Amino acid sequence: MAKILAVDDSASMRSMVAFTLRGAGHDVEEADNGQAALDSAAVHKFDLILADVNMPVMDGITMVREIRTRADYRGIPILMLTTESNPEKKMEGKAAGATGWLVKPFDPDQLLATVNRVLG
Amino acid sequence: MSKVDLAQFHKAFYEESLDGLDAMEQALLALDEGAEDPELINVVFRAAHSIKGGAATFGFTDVAAFTHVAENLMDEVRSGRRPMAKAVVELLLRSGDTVRDMLSLSMAGQPAATAESQALLAELSAMVSGHAAAPVVAVAKAAAAAEAIEGWDIAFRPFDYLLKSGNDPARMFRELEALGPLAVTCDASKLPALADMDAESSYLGWTLSLDAGAKRAAVEGVFDWVDGDCDLTVTPRIAAPAPVAEVAAAAAAPVAAAAPRAVRDPAANSESSSVRVGIEKIDTLINLVGELVITQSMLSQFNDGVDASQLEMLRHGLAQLGRHTRELQESVMSIRMLPISTVFNRFPRLVRDLAQKLDKKVVLDMRGETTELDKTVLEKIGDPLVHLVRNAIDHGLEMPDKRVAAGKGDTGTLRLEAFHRGGSIVVEVADNGAGLNREAIVAKAIQRGIITTGEGMSDEAVSDLIFEAGFSTAAATTDLSGRGVGMDVVRRNVMDLGGTVAIRSVQGSGTTFTITLPLTLAIIDGLTAAVGDEIYIVPLVSIIESVQVKPDTVRSVAGGGELFRFRDNWMPIVRLFDVFGCAGQRRAVDEGIVIVVEGEGTRIGLFVDELIGQQQAVVKSLEANYRRVTGISGATILADGSVALIADVTGLVRMQARRKAA
């Protein structure tokens, strides 16, 4: 069981991710934008962060850049939930310090497979 | 297949998409008025982007395909490749409407793509420059022929920063191992002296040998996240010279994400089945229930009787219980309350479209959007408001040249305001247009046979004529108001909600419609009054005051009615025992008491035996339990268990008016 932060401004996407991960026995916190994610990460110690790219208040790329400046999150896996129409976002996310990505749309099986890939 | 049923998220997706479309529409309207905030463009982009992502995830492929193109268009605007021209705003506004329709079709389990949506999609696609629809579902790189491959040799040396990105070589090797037997050799030659070592840097390199004829895509897929962060060579080991067969890439293509569309229960997505509640309201509720539990346990110690020394404590406990019950009730009621902005939000678009169509200049001034109303009331007040707003723009506000000729600015103002007044919510729709035309209304009313002459009628009485059934104003033939809905329907709808509509018009300077609505439909504050053996409840909101009438202030009029003088006005007395056919004990006017009530701007006096007191009544529907009764809006149960009927003041006023007319 891992402690995972799901960040997405879409409540339905967030619920789907959280529900799927909880079903697999993980402990999931949710945040609806990058700033909320940073706040949550300051309180909890996450083993993995899944973050959408386009969000109000603070986008996912900025969030990754910010969170990598924190000593305790330097090597923690962060996956960007990105869309195929934005391949350049993958590279931008990686440059900001993301571990990898999961391309939207994904189904619960693909989500679990990818999460297992980083959690080992 | 995972056991997660995606259908459970459909409703949340639908609701947030509608919110997104609303936000998008508001942003577009602001942009249309020349606002230059880049965040507005982001809002529009994000709405399209989120809906596309969700629609694709939850299996609404038609919606996903449509919003994909809208998103591309917005991406061009966002990146500065296209100006936010009027035509773009127009097209996106229409797209928003279409997506809204497509979503409701999808939710109803019907195909979302219609001829209309396809036509608009074509328009959108035509606008997006060099439109190349990137497929929503990923297509894998073509895999190389794999049949003859018996293994892979991999040389992998991460750059020193690789670990900081959260990628772990050990994990990647485990992934490779899942493909087949793996031999790993580590090259530690670049490892520095311990003193120079940075724990977060990567110094090692590996050569790996995979003894399995896996596909190249699968092997390279393990390294896709570190592409560019390492030196990597992947070489196939070919067994014997064998013909390299062309292998279809299809096998390697990722699983299409389209989930099977679940058969939807039509009852499950009925509009009114859920209400979104702020977390602080829930917290208050939980808190109150906690307090109640404490009070209950405190009171439970009196189970075995009370002795005199404990009386004070018992009284204290009961007072606490009373207070908490009241607070709990208020708190529960507030859960049904939503800000009126949910209704007001549709008006900027409506006003813009109407003004454009009519070549009028209109500024919409909305106030008090945070005023909260019962959800049921909110759902039903939308249509009457739309009608009033349409009317105000169509008939109330003048053309710019006419306004200038009348010495006014060429731009008319439409004010939409909500506020609390006493126990009611007041919603006003006011325009600074020409005001009602007395002569035209009188002429029309005569033509329709509603009245025979306008002479002697006060301005208020003339204004009220427009609420009469069968009265429709001259311009009702325009395509804007020709919807078969007249002001009489507006009034009826408002009255069904227990509210009233009043009209105030000043010739040359404008018309104001004032809708007064109850805060909630479920509970009323009422005055209990006895009529014979029965108890009636008169809603407090309708009561002006209660008076004892002296016989010498009462006049009989032709037709058997009675009038009494109240503050220099004559008003009819309605004896409740007459109306409801019960045995009133007191028949003489000075034996009982008259409750002066107002409905639809008209005052009447309700004659009852006596006043008993004031109390809150939980309204039970008479219609649901018995049948509709004129003059009665519902029933309630009193503290002693008996049933009391709730007087419908507006209904009684209308009964009186009909009796007068007869």
> Does residue B602 share a domain with residue B638?
yes
> Does residue B199 share a domain with residue B324?
no
What does pLDDT average to over chain A? 89
Tokens found for residue A19: 């529900």
Q: Give the 3-state secondary structure of residue B373.
A: strand
Spatial neighbors of B579 by CB under 8 A, at least 6 apart, are B631, B652, B655
A-chain residues within 8 Å CB-CB of B58? 12, 16
- Closest-CA distance, A91 to chain B, in angstroms, reads 10
Instruction: Please indicate, yes or no, if residue B544 is contained in any of the structural domains.
Output: yes
Tokens found for residue B128: 């997006």
CATH number at residue B391: 3.30.565.10
Query: Would you say B610 and B520 are in contact if contact means Cβ atoms under 8 Å apart?
Result: no
> Does residue B306 share a domain with residue B453?
no
**Per-residue confidence at B147, pLDDT binned at 50, 70, 90?**
low
CA distances from B166 to A74, B76, B188, B337 (A): 7, 33, 21, 47
B577, pLDDT greater than 90: no
Residues forming a β-bridge with B607: B575, B594
What residue spans define the domains of chain A?
3-119
Residue B540: how many other CB atoms lie within 10 Å: 15
CATH number at residue B594: 2.40.50.180
Domains of chain B: total: 5
**Structural domain ending residue among the three candidates B496, B518, B540:** B518
Query: Would you say B516 and B381 are in contact if contact means Cβ atoms under 8 Å apart?
Result: no
Helix (H) or strand (E) holding B525: strand B523-531
**Distance, CA of B180 to CA of B163 (rounded, Å):** 25
Instruction: Please indicate, yes or no, if residue B275 is contained in any of the structural domains.
Output: no
CATH number at residue B198: 3.30.70
Average pLDDT for residues B552-569, to the nearest whole number? 83
> Does residue B530 share a domain with residue B510?
no
Spatial neighbors of B159 by CB under 8 A, at least 6 apart, are B202, B229, B230, B231
Nearest to B170 by CA among A37, A117, A56: A117
* Domain containing residue B31: 6-127
Per-residue confidence (pLDDT) for residue B593, from 0 to 100: 92
Average pLDDT for residues B367-374, to the nearest whole number? 88
B-chain residues within 8 Å CB-CB of A110? 254-255, 257
Q: What are the b/e assignments for B582-611, b being 16+ CB within 10 Å? A: eebebeebeebbbbbbbbbbbbbbbbbbee
B416, pLDDT greater than 90: yes
**Per-residue confidence at B249, pLDDT binned at 50, 70, 90?**
very low
A112 touching chain B per CB within 8 A: yes
Average pLDDT for residues B288-299, to the nearest whole number? 88
> How far, rounded to the nearest angstrom, does the alpha carbon of residue B180 sit from its chain's CA centroid?
55
> Does residue B529 share a domain with residue B507?
no
State the ipTM, two decimals. Answer: 0.86
Q: List the single residue in B with minimal CA-CA distance to A111.
A: B2
Instruction: Please indicate, yes or no, if residue B270 is contained in any of the structural domains.
Output: no
Nearest to A77 by CA among B365, B41, B168, B417: B168
> Does residue B569 share a domain with residue B504?
no
Per-residue confidence (pLDDT) for residue B421, from 0 to 100: 79
pTM of the model: 0.57
- Closest-CA distance, A115 to chain B, in angstroms, reads 12
> Does residue B473 share a domain with residue B360?
yes
Best residue in A64, A91, A107 to probe B by mutation, most B CBs within 10 Å?
A107
**Structural domain ending residue among the three candidates B518, B544, B578:** B518
Nearest to B50 by CA among A51, A57, A54, A20: A54
B261, pLDDT greater than 60: no
Nearest to B90 by CA among B32, B23, B151, B47: B32
Query: Would you say B396 and B431 are in contact if contact means Cβ atoms under 8 Å apart?
Result: yes
Find the radius of gyration of the CA atoms of chain B.
Answer: 36
- Tens of pLDDT along B331-368? 887 888 888 988 898 899 889 988 988 999 999 999 99
B2, pLDDT greater than 70: no
Instruction: Please indicate, yes or no, if residue B98 is contained in any of the structural domains.
Output: yes
User: Hey, which residues 23-42 in chain B have their CB within 8 Å of chain A?
Assistant: 42
A-chain residues within 8 Å CB-CB of B225? 94, 99-101
Of the candidates A78, A83, A109, the beta carbon closest to that of B166 is on A78
Query: Would you say B237 and B152 are in contact if contact means Cβ atoms under 8 Å apart?
Result: yes
> Does residue B546 share a domain with residue B506?
no
- Closest-CA distance, B13 to chain A, in angstroms, reads 5
Tokens found for residue B513: 């419609």
Q: Dump the DSSP string for B116-144.
A: HHHHHHHHHHHHSTT-----SS--PPPPP
A3-119 in CATH: which number? 3.40.50.2300
Q: Give the 3-state secondary structure of residue B370.
A: coil
Spatial neighbors of B81 by CB under 8 A, at least 6 apart, are B129
Per-residue confidence (pLDDT) for residue B1, from 0 to 100: 47
DSSP B262: P
**Per-residue confidence at B385, pLDDT binned at 50, 70, 90?**
very high
Binary contact (A16, B49; C-beta < 8 A):
no
Spatial neighbors of A39 by CB under 8 A, at least 6 apart, are A31
Q: Which amino acid is at B562?
A: E
Nearest to B342 by CA among B661, B5, B23, B13: B23
CATH number at residue B62: 1.20.120.160
**Structural domain ending residue among the three candidates B98, B127, B156:** B127
Of the candidates B52, B57, B72, the beta carbon closest to that of A16 is on B57
> Does residue B404 share a domain with residue B290?
no
User: Hey, which residues 229-288 in chain B have their CB within 8 Å of chain A?
Assistant: 229, 254-255, 257, 259
Per-residue confidence (pLDDT) for residue B584, from 0 to 100: 64
Query: Would you say B510 and B370 are in contact if contact means Cβ atoms under 8 Å apart?
Result: no
Query: Would you say B526 and B540 are in contact if contact means Cβ atoms under 8 Å apart?
Result: yes
Nearest to B215 by CA among B148, B160, B260: B148
A-chain residues within 8 Å CB-CB of B9? 12, 15-16, 19
B221 touching chain A per CB within 8 A: no
Nearest to B468 by CA among B500, B445, B437: B445
A-chain residues within 8 Å CB-CB of B257? 105-107, 110
Number of H helices, E strands in chain A: 5, 5
**Distance, CA of B297 to CA of B35 (rounded, Å):** 60
> Does residue B154 share a domain with residue B236?
yes
Highest mean pLDDT of the ranges B133-142, B244-253, B366-375: B366-375
Nearest to B92 by CA among B120, B122, B57: B120
Question: What is the crossing angle of helices B10-32 and B86-107, to 10°?
Answer: 160
Binary contact (A16, B9; C-beta < 8 A):
yes
